[in-house]
Amino acid sequence: MEKIKCFGFDMDYTLAVYKSPEYESLGFELTVERLVSIGYPQELLSFAYDSTFPTRGLVFDTLYGNLLKVDAYGNLLVCAHGFNFIRGSQVAAQKRPETREQYPNKFIQRDDTERFYILNTLFNLPETYLLACLVDFFTNCPRYTSCETGFKDGDLFMSYRSMFQDVRDAVDWVHYKGSLKEKTVENLEKYVVKDGKLPLLLSRMKEVGKVFLATNSDYKYTDKIMTYLFDFPHGPKPGSSHRPWQSYFDLILVDARKPLFFGEGTVLRQVDTKTGKLKIGTYTGPLQHGIVYSGGSSDTVCDLLGAKGKDILYIGDHIFGDILKSKKRQGWRTFLVIPELAQELHVWTDKSALFEELQSLDIFLAELYKHLDSSSNERPDISSIQRRIKKVTHDMDMCYGMMGSLFRSGSRQTLFASQVMRYADLYAASFINLLYYPFSYLFRAAHVLMPHESTVEHTHVDINEMESPLATRNRTSVDFKDTDYKRHQLTRSISEIKPPNLFPLAPQEITHCHDEDDDEEEEEEEE
């Protein structure tokens, strides 16, 4: 952490955490009202948001109308058509006469973004549940005829792709043209979490580096939300004078348009904070405190703050728009805010007996095959163990919600979990946790064991190397004393013309550098 020179923040669901399920319910209701206003059935108004059904990271199949939970490779973990969960052989061929095999290998091509849409954000939760409501309604309502890729109302056909696009358009309309922001601002206490430790943490960050805000929201909405978040009778500490929210940031960027922000970006403009309107022309001057900017790009941030990629820790909730893009395109350090983590940890500890039972079942299953090899014709009866594993796995999943854990399904990690592991340097339920660590703290990832390492104890295993057909490829540990012997072996029959180096010398110091950025510091020390 001591190498971080700039701390960057997203606003929505990061600085401003929206209360669940109140905020999702509001978004759901407004989106349904919008769909009804453009011609969808009035019966949809009867639906209410159910927070126990959706989870982040699900994939919507716009061809067949299914919600899918997949792993990092596209293998199906859970499949739901409306409110109907499809299991086993039903996934390969649903129990409807007109449905052909949809996922014969229980696998999808995630790269097919025209067909599969990943619902990765917290803003997607109401949308996820609404898609399930619509598919279930049109599949089961007697007025409509269910088809493989949509439904019919007389001579009118509506594909799931068209329905999905209507929902996407309705969600965008609610966020950008509808009354979602207006209703949120009218009742901030109901919809937004307010944390008294926020001013203290940001003031401490500002003491050791620079702090900036980069949000996709417009200035007027940002100002009202941030004013509420910092609306305390005191400043960072009790007894200190109150400060406006702008004073906690060195740079404020609104209308960022992430993830475009991390690529070519948009024109950097200045905001008139009195009217909320943009001033004409492109801003080309230096960084000025008190000025609010609109647009720009991640390169703009680096230029204005005088920082480079790994100097910046960016904190956000969007795995794609905040974390993946900032990491892949700019090399920023990343901190992913996952509010669901609090519930995940609660289940992990409260239901530990289920996890332990599942591990015991795995061990018992392995014991049944312990004394069998390729010559054995015996087939142990594992049916009762398999049934118990399924029962325990189901009980575990239901502790999280109908779609199970955000991070796993049984013992399999989800696509979302793999993205977190790959792109987030840090993650937590709240970035406020940083308040309890010194800014010189070294965060290190836990050592992750590969399967062959996790199943073999750290004891001597007697293996006859020469019996292995790959014995000639065996590598032995380096003995620093064998350098002279190597040199003698290689030079005894070589002419006087020799290459500069006959063989590599064993390194005397640690060679990996993935968690060290000391190059510049070492050069400065040498100078």
On whether residue 123 sits in a domain, the answer given is: yes
Report residue 455's pLDDT band, with 50, 70 and 90 as the boundaries. confident
Per annotation, catalytic residue among 10, 71, 255, 397 = 10
**What length is written for the chain?**
527
Query: Which residues are paired to 202 by β-bridges?
Result: none
**Per-residue confidence band for 454, with pLDDT thresholds at 50, 70 and 90:** confident
Average of pLDDT values for 74-97? 74
In a domain, 471, yes or no: no
Catalytic annotation on 111?
A: no
Min mean pLDDT across 69-73, 93-97, 264-268, 497-501 is at: 93-97
Taking the mean position of all CA atoms in its chain, how far away is CA 32? 27
pLDDT above 80 (res 492) = no
State whether residue 351 is helix, strand or coil.
coil
Amino acid 75: pLDDT: 93
In a domain, 129, yes or no: yes
Is residue 86 in some structural domain? yes
Count of domains observed in the chain: 1
Is 231 among the domain residues? no
| More confident site: 348 or 451 | 348
317 labelled as ligand-binding? yes
Contacts of 19 (CB under 8 A, 6+ apart): 190, 191, 192, 193
Backbone torsions φ then ψ of 297, nearest 5 degrees = -155, 175
pLDDT of res. 87: 73
Q: Is 519 annotated as a binding residue?
A: no
Residue 520, pLDDT > 60, answer: no
Residue 162 is assigned to a structural domain of this protein: yes
| % of residues, the chain, pLDDT over 70 | 84
pLDDT band at 385 (very low <50, low <70, confident <90, very high): very high
> Chain-wide mean pLDDT for the chain?
88
Residues spanned by the domain of 105: 22-188
Q: What are the C-alpha distances in Å from 503 to residues 15, 479, 483, 488?
A: 55, 14, 9, 12
Token code pair at residue 148: 């493989």
Helix (H, G, I), strand (E, B) or coil at 215: coil
Does residue 96 surpass a pLDDT of 70?
A: no
Dihedral angle over CA of 512, 517, 522, 527, nearest 10: 140
**Which pLDDT does position 99 carry in this prediction?**
34
> What pLDDT score was predicted for residue 325?
86
The H or E element spanning position 210 is strand 210-214
Instruction: Give the range among 137-151, 181-195, 405-419, 511-525 with minimum mean pLDDT.
Output: 511-525
478-488 residue pLDDT tens: 555 566 666 66
Amino acid in position 472: T
Percentage of the residues of the chain whose pLDDT score is greater than 90: 71
Per-residue pLDDT, 289? 87
- CA dist., res. 409 & res. 49, Å (int): 23
Domain contains 84? yes
Q: Confirm or deny that 50 is annotated as ligand binding.
A: no
Regarding beta strands 6-9 and 210-214, do their DSSP bridges make them parallel or antiparallel, or are they unpaired?
parallel
Q: Which is higher by pLDDT, 349 or 463? A: 349
- For 79, the 3-state DSSP assignment is strand
Between CA 257 and CA 235 the distance in angstroms is 31
Q: Is 250 a catalytic residue?
A: no
Whether residue 114 lies inside any domain: the answer is: yes
